[in-house]
Amino acid sequence: MDDLFSDAGSLHELYAGVDWAATPLGPVSSWSPTLLSILRTVWQTRFAVTLFWGPEQALIYNEAYVTLIADKHPAAFGAPAREVFPEIWDTIGPMLDTAAAGDGGTWVQDLRLMMNRRGFLEETYFTFSYSAVIGPTGKVEGVIDVAAETTAQVLADRRLRLLHQLTDQLADVEHRGHLLERALPLLRAATDDLPGVTLLVLASDEPLEEPGPAGESVTVVKDDEGTAVHVRLADASAEGDYGVLMVRLSPYLPADDAYLGFVRLIGATLTQALDRIERRRADRVIASLERAMSEALQESLLTHPAQHESLQVAVRYQSSVAQSHIGGDWYDAFQLPDGTLTVAVGDVSGHDRAAATAMAQIRNVLRGIAYTITSPPSRILEHLNTAMIGLPVDAFATVVLAQVAPSTTGGVLRWSNAGHPPPALLLPDGAVRILDTPPEVLLGTRAAAWRSDHTVYLEPGTTVVFYTDGLIERRLTDIDEGQQELARALAGRQHLDAEELCDHLLAEFAPTAEDDIALTVIRTFGVVPPTVIRTGR
């Protein structure tokens, strides 16, 4: 009968050496033709296959099945299934009985079985099918089990899901305290892999109680409670503190490379989050300093406006929330020798120091031309454009230049517009008029351009609002909608003085601004006001 086992491969000698007569299967000479026939199929397949044969459901299996049962081999040869698998019998016993009774086969996928196959109760997963083996008389002689262990795949998928969830949870964390709030509940809920999790922050000179070899960031610690892993996280702050992830490993899983690698990946994810927190903190500090310096530099270029006894002038400058750079928006208000108030609000293209430099040049040249040449605004802008090209000032700019001649009966506003948003007029009765005029080319172009002047009478109590496009322009709205919103915000606000109206407009528009805002508001009194005129930006 030795030739019977010739196809058993590496199990040949084991098969041949078993005293089969002492097993529930009986001597080989008594084995049924059905058993002998199916055995050849079992030995020739590379799938893990076992037979549960006879009333005792004794085991006979192939080479591939040995890996699945590990230390249960070779004692499992010929032994009753109930004795081989006592720890999982409550689960597989009823399935085997169903197949053995001829009541149909069974199929399970990734079934969790707590199996003792390496000296401890181990969390394992199997996909397998029990099918009845029927003899020539129609009687069920045994059950065939075709199985595949899926423990590695199930654990890998489970751990990968946790790492993805952890990455998502920590993607937008801004502070270390928030990291603990996000990470710990998630990790502690993964009790199958992480029955115990602690995150500590230690000073750089405070070693762990059980340090690993020099240079090691992962330390495996064994104690009376089992196995723990300490993962030192990379330096996470300028103070030199570092984090430590302490994980208690599951007693139902081997502390193999895959398990330790998973814990290392958790540590790496936490380290990356801590690094991002530190980088974002540093970025916030740098951005805050740069913003403060930029605004201080910008405001140093914008002097306090001139005041007149019959006018109140208020100005504001506010950089965009999205921009920390200085830019090209500016305002100016100064008196000419004859007492006329000259007002300019402009915008140089760009949001950088080059734009700020060009802005300062244009503003200063404009001041000089306006002060020394007694001309209407249109002529002053023509001279300014010539100077920009000849100096040269390598920039384009829009500007509204206005001259206000105040009187005891209000005043006269004369202005010229070089491609800039039009001023708004708030009348004493609360009505609003946008001083829209035919568009004229911006400054910095070499093409000959005709520039015109426009005049409007300002009765006492009239307010004029000059602004840059950052006040009203948004990506999802056009300029006309922005002007309508400005008119709505001004309507009925004739009781506000110039300072109050500046504050009102910034409260309305600045929170959603996408660009810098320069704002100048002039209110006519017609007589010397009884209160002190406030100035500010």
- Give the pLDDT score at 529: 40
Whole-angstrom distance, CA of residue 15 vs CA of residue 5: 7
Residue 385 binned pLDDT confidence (cut-offs 50, 70, 90) = very high
Is residue 196 one of the residues assigned to a domain? yes
Average pLDDT on 166-192 reads: 91
Q: Is residue 145 domain-shared with residue 21, that is, in the same domain? A: yes
Q: Which two tokens stand for residue 347?
A: 């915008």
- Per-residue burial over 133-168, b if 16 or more Cβ lie within 10 Å, else e, is beeeeeeebbbbbbbbbbbeebbeeebeebeeebee
Share of the chain above pLDDT 90, in %: 64
Q: Which two tokens stand for residue 75?
A: 């004692």
Is residue 388 one of the residues assigned to a domain? yes
Q: Which two tokens stand for residue 102?
A: 């001829």
Residue 520 binned pLDDT confidence (cut-offs 50, 70, 90) = very high
Q: Where are the alpha helices (DSSP H) in 301-401?
A: 353-372, 377-390
pLDDT digits (tens, 9 = 90+) for 446-502: 877 889 999 999 999 999 999 999 999 988 788 889 999 999 999 999 999 999 999
The helix (H) or strand (E) run that includes residue 297 is: helix 257-300
Q: Which two tokens stand for residue 116?
A: 């003792």
> CA nearest 354: which of 325, 390, 383?
325
Q: Is residue 275 domain-shared with residue 310, that is, in the same domain? A: no
Residue 288 binned pLDDT confidence (cut-offs 50, 70, 90) = confident
Average pLDDT on 92-101 reads: 95
Residue 37: give the domain boundaries: 2-149
Report if pTM > 0.75: no
Is residue 323 one of the residues assigned to a domain? yes
Q: Is residue 229 domain-shared with residue 192, that is, in the same domain? A: yes
Q: Which residue has the higher pLDDT, 129 or 394?
A: 129
Q: Is residue 118 domain-shared with residue 172, that is, in the same domain? A: no
Report which residue type is found at 502: C
pLDDT digits (tens, 9 = 90+) for 119-137: 999 999 999 999 999 999 9
Do the beta carbons of residue 61 and residue 67 sit within 8 Å?
Answer: no
pLDDT digits (tens, 9 = 90+) for 39-87: 999 999 999 999 999 999 999 999 999 999 999 999 999 999 999 999 9
Three-state DSSP class for residue 122: strand
Q: In whole numbers, what is the pLDDT of the chain averaged over residues? A: 87
* CATH assignment of the domain containing 128: 3.30.450.20
Q: Which two tokens stand for residue 473?
A: 């322009």
> CA nearest 342: which of 300, 389, 379?
379
Q: Is residue 329 domain-shared with residue 464, that is, in the same domain? A: yes
- Give the pLDDT score at 215: 41
Average pLDDT on 210-239 reads: 72
Is residue 409 pLDDT above 50, yes or no?
yes
Q: Is residue 386 domain-shared with residue 435, that is, in the same domain? A: yes
Whole-angstrom distance, CA of residue 451 vs CA of residue 441: 8
Residue 9 CB: number of other CB atoms within 10 A?
A: 13
Whole-angstrom distance, CA of residue 19 vs CA of residue 78: 9
Q: Is residue 309 domain-shared with residue 449, that is, in the same domain? A: yes
Q: Which two tokens stand for residue 149?
A: 């262990």
Three-state DSSP class for residue 275: helix
- Give the pLDDT score at 443: 93
Q: Which of 4-13, 69-78, 278-287, 342-351 has the highest mean pLDDT?
A: 69-78
Beta bridge partners of 456: 413
The helix (H) or strand (E) run that includes residue 286 is: helix 257-300
Q: Is residue 57 domain-shared with residue 145, that is, in the same domain? A: yes
Q: Is residue 454 domain-shared with residue 314, that is, in the same domain? A: yes
Average pLDDT on 511-516 reads: 87
Is residue 262 pLDDT above 80, yes or no?
yes
Is residue 357 pLDDT above 90, yes or no?
no
Is residue 367 one of the residues assigned to a domain? yes
Q: Which two tokens stand for residue 128?
A: 């397998």
Is residue 73 one of the residues assigned to a domain? yes
